[in-house]
Amino acid sequence: MIHTHYRWVIVAAGGLLGCIAIGAMFSLPVFLLPISKDTGWSVTGVSTAMTIGFLAMAFASMFWGGLSDRWGPRPVVLTGSVLLAASLAATSVATSLVAFQFTFGLVVGAAAAAVFAPMMACVTGWFDTHRSLAVSLVSAGMGMAPMTMSPFAAWLVSMHSWRTSMQIIALVVAVVMIPASLLIRRPPALEAEAGAPADDAPQEGMTTGEVLRSPQFIILCLTNFFCCATHSGPIFHTVSYAITCGIPMIAAVTIYSVEGLAGMGGRVVFGLLGDRLGAKHVLVAGLFAQAFGALGYVFTGGLFSFYLVAGIFGFIYAGVMPLYAVIARENFPLRLMGTVIGGTAMAGSLGMALGPVAGGMIYDTFASYTWLYVGSWGIGLGAFLIAMTFRPVVKTREALAPA
């Protein structure tokens, strides 16, 4: 029998798996110029692999989530780990840009997606108490990637070719992620033969079709899409914006580090608040604050003001993200968590894909980033208003029940 203390092993394994998987994918910005110089491929062409990767992650999230509902999280995460290591190794020997875009963009992106939805679904099923904190800690592990794997990639490429460096990262993925995948277990509630736990009973009769058509699922997806569209542009373009404000590049890059460090704290604090005040209430408040956090960049100029706004913005946007999984668990059957969280993750990834492109178009048109942040503020208010319309599934069904 697996005792409940094992749930923290699941959290630790999920954080580690997410850190390595996301970090492997986000090694591309570090390798960007070395790849271009070595191969002669354009920076745009190499960068396109990242765009393909985001789209692959979006559409693969629901696929992997559905498989985890059917097979359990361990075989899905294990398959994704093997596929990620193999695709990174294949990328390291790619001889054409098309092959590179296929192996890194399509396959690495799809493989990395095998971690997020299955692990989030798994963790929510292991916790009846401290659920928001647990999910936030897994998310925090994923958030460690820019502070661990990215510097590791930079260190590697400073001593080796990008091909050798990517092969070493593929080896790290295999050596760390495959054993960690074997630690994953189904939530005890799904292992039990007696059926679902009592707290799941009000939603247990829902089919996959009913879940996907429900207003609650649609609202969650729309909120996540607008939420991610709010912060994706500022995340991607803030370093460039700081440089246009006269801040040296080396100092400008540290703004991103401040944002990332603040995000680590935000995940933990929002997780604790979610357990105490309710995930939906904290999410709604966080989305409202996120909108004004994005707008704050309009009023920055010096390095200190960038640090201040980046710290506040990073704290908020990173903090709200894990709460979607908690709300999903509170409103839909545990046996369908992979599908639900995969669907919301797909919507979020599509929102993330918008920001870099929209920000570039805005700057090319106006020679200024001001309208990017004003637009992010408006989109953020949209996310807040959409989230306000969310009504729990249980309450909706109780309201419809005959007196």
Name the nearest CA neighbour of 349 among 21, 57, 29, 24: 57
Cα 277 from chain centroid?
23
Q: How far apart are CA 186 and CA 365, in angstroms?
A: 51
The pLDDT value given to residue 203: 61
The DSSP annotation for 103-117 comes to IIIIIIHHHHHHHHH
Domains and CATH numbers, the chain: 4-195 (1.20.1250.20), 199-400 (1.20.1250.20)
The pLDDT value given to residue 239: 79
The pLDDT value given to residue 187: 83
Count the neighbouring beta carbons within 10 Å of the beta carbon of residue 314: 27
| Token pair belonging to 226 | 């607008």
The pLDDT value given to residue 396: 43
Name the nearest CA neighbour of 297 among 250, 245, 356, 254: 245
**DSSP label at residue 3:** -
Residues counted in the chain? 403
With vertex at residue 271, the alpha carbon angle to CA 76 and CA 128, rounded to the nearest 5 degrees, is 65
- Cβ atoms of 15 and 140 within 8 Å: the answer is yes
Amino acid symbol at 75: P
The pLDDT value given to residue 3: 56
> For 221, how many CA atoms within 13 A lie in the half-sphere containing its CB?
20
The pLDDT value given to residue 92: 94
Q: How far apart are CA 153 and CA 27, in angstroms?
A: 6
pLDDT tens series, the chain, 403 aa: 445 688 889 999 999 999 999 889 888 877 888 888 899 988 778 878 887 888 898 889 889 988 988 888 999 999 999 999 999 999 999 999 999 999 998 999 999 999 988 888 888 888 887 888 888 888 888 878 777 887 888 889 889 999 999 999 999 999 999 999 999 988 877 665 444 444 444 466 778 888 889 999 999 999 999 999 999 888 878 878 888 899 887 788 788 778 888 988 998 899 899 989 999 999 999 999 999 999 999 999 899 999 999 999 999 999 999 899 899 988 988 888 888 988 998 999 889 878 877 888 888 888 889 999 999 999 999 999 999 999 987 544 444 444 4
